[in-house]
Amino acid sequence: MSHWKRNLLVLCFAQLLTMIGFSAYLPFIPFYVQELGAKGYGEATAWLAAFDSGAAIAMMLVAPVWGTLADRYGRKPMLVRATFAGAVLAFLMGLVHSPVQLIALRILQGALCGTVSAANTLVATETPDESLGKGLGIMQTTQFVGQAAGPLVGGIAADTFGYRIVFPISAAMMVIALTAILALVRERARVPVGKRTQARRRPARQLLSLVATRSTLVLLVALASNSFALSVLSPVVSLYVESLSTASRGIATLAGAIVSVSAFSASVSALALGHLGDKIGRKAVLLACVIGVALIHVPQALATSPMQLLVLRAIQGLFMGGVIPTANALLARSTPLSQRGRIFGLVTSVQAGGRALGPLVGAGVSNSWGMRGAFWVTASIFALLSALVGGFVGEQQAPEVENTPALGVAKAAEGREPACPTSSS
């Protein structure tokens, strides 16, 4: 098995465990904070908002720093750091005695973790360019599956053993993932010493130069808007399901199924669409997916039953699965290898900002215009994104010839060329 394929396989295994671990305790946080001392639904909701937004804001502020350090010292060390921090902090969450302690650990988690960005950066720098969309699609599929399966695993464990036991279970999953990364992942596309020195001296200037191009800026806006638009619906979907249902029992199970079905269908499509982007062009796939997401939210705003919403959300996931891997592949291809840690750190930052702002806007829109209004807002955002992607995104190649590290290393092993080229061709 080639180097990059082995790395991808191990990273997918590690990310699956890590994402299950991170998402396993999310469904019962409102109940956990009440167990810790929160009084009533209103206070629990306020702590939940702090739990979500605190981590997102911390990640938004710190992610570019981790991306810069990844370019300077290596991408594998950043993934090891993020996974180790996730395991320790998840374990400590099971030992807290107040909501304040829980929120403090959650904010630290947002600042110190970010395994998705670290894993995506490592895949983007170790995978040959012709397989970049496929590799990132496989990684995205794994992450979607982990995010969808985690709440189910955590809910069963919490109902069986209690809330606190879920946290050490989550930590144990991350420890297994960390062991696999340390033992089996090999990073070969290291940044040359000269470029490390240059990056150390001018990190801010180089980051600005990355986002100065029109295509890169639009892709960053697209990824931020994707996170924002989808999170606009997060405070609305469950209540919307309740308003559409005529039954009084099983609402929580029904709402959970409708919330998670898009993640499952996205996990199916991410691999196929990432691979399709490698074949026919990533911009074309990204544009089709963004238009599809915009259009599918229109009938969701007009749904009259939970089953209609379930089917529409499943179709939505098929389009969603292509947005992130194709946008990430376009960004990676247009960014020199020595600066991909920065660009993926910035991606994590803007996505976290979108996730922090979206629920606030969604709550405000639903209070002012009704719950259906949140779906119209989301559809409008994606319609605007389709115009931006169609008009301004290109598929330019990065000027630095470092896009096929695995091939370069293989040739270096045969004595035909250096593994870490120090000049552009």
142 in any annotated domain:
yes
Q: Is residue 329 part of a domain?
A: yes
| Angstrom distance (rounded) from CA 262 to CA 347 | 22
Q: Please, which pLDDT band fits residue 340 given cuts at 50, 70 and 90?
A: confident
Report d(CA 141, CA 135) in Å as an integer: 10
Domain membership flag for residue 34: yes
Please choose, from the candidates 106, 127, 48, the residue with its C-alpha nearest in 3D space to the C-alpha of residue 359.
48
As a whole number, the mean pLDDT across the chain is: 80
* Residue 402 predicted with pLDDT over 60: no
Mean pLDDT, rounded, for 157-173: 90
Number of domains in the chain: 1
Q: Is residue 421 part of a domain?
A: no
Question: What is the average per-residue pLDDT within 185-193?
Answer: 67
- Containing domain of residue 130, as a range? 3-188+196-413
Residue 411 has pLDDT above 60, yes or no: no
Domain assignment present for 422? no
Q: Is residue 201 domain-resident? A: yes
- Of 311, 191, 296, whose CA–CA distance to 261 is shortest? 311
Q: CATH number for the domain including 389?
A: 1.20.1250.20
Coil vs helix vs strand at 1? coil
Q: Which residue has the higher pLDDT, 1 or 312?
A: 312
**Highest mean pLDDT pick, 195-199, 241-245, 374-378, 395-399:** 374-378
Flag whether 419 is in a domain.
no
* CA dihedral of 276, 380, 354, 282, whole degrees rounded to 10: 20
Between residues 400 and 384, the one the model is more confident about: 384
Q: Check pLDDT > 60 for residue 34.
A: yes
Is residue 205 included in any domain, yes or no?
Answer: yes
pTM of the model: 0.70
pLDDT band at 18; cut points 50, 70, 90: very high
